Structure formats: structure tokens, C-alpha cells
């Protein structure tokens, strides 16, 4: 299976929105590929509704969503109809029909815990250059926290500006909604950090733990 920091593997996939070439068709955009065990299942239905209700927030971050399961495309389409009819939510992002299981196997979505041909709840976060930036796995019985996935996109985009993101950001117990400045790794850098602190550019608990406001 691909790893964090590697390029997302080239593949052509059949979806509810037609054929998509990954990652090329999303060049210049972030995208989240997430698998679910099966259509017409309770937890998966709650997840799809939660993703859709936050879809505009993802798009505002230049991020697209792509679902996947080992179901045929007509099952995806019928499930989308059911969600619209019963829950008044229209799924607007594509769902991959991996009925052969080849894509799931290639991406490591078929775990021992998953029975038969069901995929686990995997999440791949891919950046605009097609590089995998994060991978999450949830067991079948545990629905994902979609707000956490949204937080990860926001955090990774800030990290690309040269910062590190503290635990529970933006509600960190030590530095609140600030982000971490890379720690000094030379004598000159220690001096620079202290100068930056005196100038009010950053705040430090020590030279190795400095922080600042989220850059605009």
C-alpha cells in the first residue's frame, strides 16, 4: 500500500460522476478519498450525510471528496436516491465503484477485520501535487469524526507555510489557537529566536518551543 509522503498511485476509476483519473484529474486541488464498508448500511449512511453537510467547507479549502466501496455503481446511485428521499440530503461528490476489489487491495483498504469483501473505513488525504499527506483507518463499527478530517485539511495547509500544529489545535491546552514555529537547530537559530521574541514577532516558552498566530 502507498505511504505518507509518496505520490498517490495512478489509476482510472469508475464513479457515480463518470470516469476519473487519479490523481491527475485533481491536480492543483486537495482531495480526500475515503472508503466505506458497504452501501445501505447504518454507520456509512451517517458518514455520507456528515461529509455532504460539510462539503462546501471542504470546497472552500480547495478540497474535493471521493467515496469508495466494493459495490457496483447502480448500488451507489440507488443509495444516493434513498438518502435524498429519506433524509433530504443530496450527495454531490463522486463515489467509486470498486466491485472487483482491485483498487481497495492496492490501497490497503481490505483488512483482516473486514469480513468478505467489505472495506475498512480508510481515509487518504492527498495534496495538490498528488502527494499523500495523511492516512487514517477506522474499524467497521466506528464512524469517523468528519470535523477532525476537516481540521486536518486546515492544519496541513498551514503546515505547508512552515509551521507545526499543536495537539487539539485550535484549542491547544498550552498555546491556544497559535501554531508552532520550527525549533532552533543551530546556535545562530537560537539567537534568532530570542531576537524574534524580543521584537514581539513570536512568543516562546523556551528557544525550542516558540509559537505565533496563524499566518494570514
Question: Which pLDDT tens digit goes with each residue over 168-198?
Answer: 999 999 999 999 999 999 999 999 999 999 9
Q: What is the pLDDT of residues 66-118, one digit of tens each?
A: 999 999 999 999 999 999 999 999 999 999 999 999 999 999 998 765 555 67
> Which range scores top for mean pLDDT: 17-21, 101-105, 138-142?
17-21
Asked if the model's pLDDT at residue 139 lies above 60, the reply is yes
Alpha carbon dihedral 7, 105, 108, 112, in 10-degree steps, equals 180
Cα distance between residue 18 and residue 11, in whole Å: 14
- Mean pLDDT, residues 38-65: 97
Same fold, 11-145 and 161-216: no
Is the model's pTM score more than 0.85?
A: yes
Beta-ladder partners of 134: 125
All residues at 6 or more sequence positions from 79 whose CB lies less than 8 Å from its CB, including other chains: 39, 40, 45, 71
Q: What would you report as the CA-atom Rg of the chain, rounded to the nearest whole angstrom?
A: 20
161-216 folds as: Antioxidant, Horf6; Chain A, domain 2 (3.30.1020)
Q: What pLDDT is stored for residue 110 in this prediction?
A: 86
Cα distance between residue 213 and residue 76, in whole Å: 43
Collapsing DSSP to helix, strand or coil, 121 comes out as strand
Predicted confidence band at 48 (pLDDT cuts at 50, 70, 90)? very high
- Write down the mean pLDDT value for the chain: 95
- Mean pLDDT, residues 47-57: 98
Asked if the model's pLDDT at residue 26 lies above 70, the reply is yes
Cα distance between residue 107 and residue 8, in whole Å: 9
Which DSSP category does 184 fall into? P
For cell 467497521, name the residue. 140
63 is catalytic: no
Active-site residue identified among 44, 63, 204, 210: 44
Q: What is the pLDDT of residues 77-90, one digit of tens each?
A: 999 999 999 999 99
Grid coordinates in use for 84? 435524498
Higher-confidence position of 215 and 3: 3
CATH classification of 11-145 is 3.30.70.100, yes or no?
Answer: no
Higher-confidence position of 139 and 131: 131
Q: Please report, for the chain, the start and end positions of each structural domain, with discontinuous segments joined by +.
A: 11-145, 161-216
Q: What pLDDT is stored for residue 113 in this prediction?
A: 57
Amino acid at each position: 500500500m502507498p505511504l505518507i509522503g509518496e505520490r498517490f498511485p495512478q489509476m482510472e476509476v469508475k464513479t457515480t460522476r463518470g470516469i476519473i483519473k487519479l490523481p491527475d484529474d485533481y491536480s492543483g486541488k486537495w482531495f480526500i478519498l475515503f472508503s466505506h464498508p458497504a452501501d445501505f448500511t447504518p454507520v456509512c449512511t451517517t458518514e455520507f450525510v456528515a461529509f455532504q453537510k460539510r462539503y462546501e467547507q471542504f470546497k472552500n479549502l480547495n478540497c474535493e471528496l471521493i467515496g469508495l466501496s466494493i459495490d457496483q455503481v447502480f448500488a451507489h446511485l440507488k443509495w444516493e436516491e434513498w438518502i435524498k428521499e429519506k433524509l433530504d440530503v443530496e450527495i454531490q461528490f463522486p463515489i467509486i465503484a470498486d466491485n472487483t476489489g482491485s483498487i481497495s487491495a492496492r490501497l490497503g483498504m481490505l483488512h483482516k477485520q473486514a469480513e468478505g469483501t467489505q472495506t475498512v473505513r480508510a481515509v487518504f488525504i492527498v495534496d495538490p501535487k498528488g502527494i499523500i499527506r495523511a492516512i487514517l483507518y477506522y474499524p467497521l463499527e466506528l464512524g469517523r469524526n468528519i470535523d477532525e478530517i476537516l481540521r486536518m485539511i486546515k492544519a496541513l495547509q498551514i503546515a505547508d507555510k512552515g509551521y507545526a500544529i499543536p495537539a487539539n489545535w485550535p484549542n491547544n491546552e498550552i498555546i491556544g489557537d497559535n501554531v508552532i514555529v520550527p525549533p532552533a537547530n543551530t546556535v545562530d537559530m537560537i539567537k534568532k529566536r530570542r531576537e524574534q521574541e524580543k521584537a514581539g514577532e513570536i512568543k516562546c516558552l523556551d528557544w525550542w518551543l516558540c509559537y505565533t498566530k496563524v499566518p494570514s
